[in-house]
Homo-oligomer: A and B are copies of this chain.
């Protein structure tokens, strides 16, 4: 069979979790990985060790032994040269460079979203400390300062009350480091995420709006669908995400992270867009076990411009809990304990070396009763971390 070939830049758990979907659909996956024993490289036949800024590595992942049908990414840190190499050999990139820009650069993103009328927190560029002083004055003395580029999982984001808390970021920006922006610290009710996929030919499908819970800037727990979501907030969230996807011409999976806010009672927005990710995203891991089509299958279908799959849920509630490295021991030690304690828990391990704070795996539980499902997911994640759980 002449299988479609999807080239993926990045060899972490997101590329890894594309592999089962590729297997089912008869797609050959080829990953560009930083290390030969990386999370994705362990589970695919074909990988290239290198970086997207290396032209030779890009050429290999794009064309060897035969040309890829599409180039896609598991992270946003893609240099312009990588897109140029794909153009050179006639391989389309999804998302395209003109779309991915808005997931790479938060200033570009805020400008564009503001232009599209998508509700965002108040924000401003920070050409220097003076601008931050002014923003703090206007926003109750607190602001969220972000580096426009290079951040992830809470890195490159600081809640500050004084210019001195980001002195070194201003210093870095003056010598070519990432530009800075300030955003209002939003008094949010909770965080939501809208996950969708869009094909080059325009078809777009959203999964149900999910609630995300962060700990130390890292996604910790996701509940899908978001409990007690008002129809108005749901409609606003879906509308904002669709506007982003179509306005920015996003292809593949898009995750739009949002704040649900109390609203001003006068028709003001009830959701504000926080971050964008143009790839499968932690807020969508629940779809592997909880939806008819997983975000990984959907991403492959979308970037190959194949018809999209149903985003319906397979059970009333799905709860996903991340497992971060705590340095306590091998996850495989906890595996038998988890599987024994809860035969319905779906465990996903990423095949990584343990390092404190690193995402090593996740657990999803799908079921009828939200409290039961949540308790089981949290207990399973704790057991995988090697913690003792009652009951």
A4 at the interface (CB under 8 A from B): yes
Q: Is residue A3 contacting chain B, with contact meaning CB distance below 8 A?
A: yes
CB < 8 Å: which of B23, B314, B343, B353 contacts A308?
B343
A3 touches B332 (CB 8 A): yes
A332 with B1: in contact, given A25-B347, A343-B310, A344-B309 (CB under 8 Å)? yes
Q: Are B312 and A315 in contact (CB under 8 A)?
A: no
Interface size on A, residues (CB 8 A): 54
Would A309 and B339 be within 8 Å (CB), given that A20-B23, A292-B344, A351-B26 are in contact? yes
A233 at the interface (CB under 8 A from B): no
A24 in the interface (beta carbon within 8 A): yes
Q: How far is the CA of A102 from the CA of B293 in the complex (A)?
A: 39
Please indicate the chain B residues that have their CB under 8 angstroms from the CB of A353 in the complex: 1
Which residues of chain B come closer than 8 Å to A45, judged between CB atoms?
41-45, 47
CB distance from A224 to the nearest CB of B (A): 15
Cβ B42 vs Cβ A351 within 8 A: no
Fill in one digit per residue for A327-366: 1 if any B CB lies within 8 Å of its CB, else 0: 0001110011001100110111111111000001100001
A378 CB → nearest B CB, Å? 18
* A29 nearest in chain B by CB position: B43
Among B3, B19, B309, B354, the residue within 8 A (CB) of A343 is: B309
Residue of B nearest to A315 (CB): B314
Contacts A20-B20, A22-B43, A344-B292 given: A335-B306 contact, CB under 8 Å? yes
What residues on B are CB-neighbors of A205 within 8 Å? 343
Q: Does A385 contact B (CB under 8 A)?
A: no
From 262 to 320 in chain A, residues with beta carbon under 8 angstroms from any chain B beta carbon are 288, 292-293, 301, 306-310, 312, 314-315
B residues less than 8 Å from A22 (CB atoms): 43
Give the chain B neighbours of A24 by CB distance below 8 A.
Answer: 20, 288, 346-349
Can you list, as one digit per residue, whether each of A74-85 has a CB less than 8 Å from chain B (1) or not (0)? 000000000000
Question: Separation in Å of the A285 CB from the closest CB of chain B?
Answer: 11
Q: Digitize A5-21: 1 where CB-to-B-CB distance is under 8 Å, 0 elsewhere.
A: 00000000000110110
The answer to whether A28 has its CB under 8 Å from any CB of chain B is yes
Most buried by B among A339, A350, A354: A339
Chain B residue numbers with a CB within 8 Å of A292 are 343-344, 346, 366
CA distance A339 to B346 in the complex (A): 26
Docked complex Cα distance between A343 and B22 (Å): 17
- On chain B, the residues within 8 Å of A230 by CB distance are none
Q: A164: CB under 8 A from chain B?
A: no
B16 touching A23, Cβ below 8 Å: yes
* Nearest CB of B to A373, in Å: 13
Q: In the complex, how many angstroms separate the beta carbon of A304 from the nearest chain B beta carbon?
A: 9
Q: How far is the CA of A43 from the CA of B43 in the complex (A)?
A: 8
Residue of B nearest to A331 (CB): B1
B307–A26 touching, CB < 8 Å: no
Q: Which of A24, A41, A336 has the most CB of B within 10 A?
A: A24
- A343-B207 Cα distance, complex, nearest whole Å: 13
Contact B349 A26, beta carbon cutoff 8 Å: yes
In contact, A339 and B43 (Cβ under 8 angstroms): no
Within 8 A of B (CB), among A34-80: 41-45, 47
What are 22 A-to-B residue pairs whose CB atoms are below 8 Å? A1-B353, A1-B360, A19-B19, A20-B20, A20-B24, A24-B346, A24-B347, A24-B348, A25-B335, A25-B349, A26-B331, A26-B335, A42-B45, A43-B44, A43-B45, A45-B47, A292-B366, A301-B339, A308-B339, A309-B343, A310-B343, A312-B344
Q: What 3 A-B pairs are tightest by C-beta distance, nearest first?
A: A26-B349, A20-B20, A307-B340
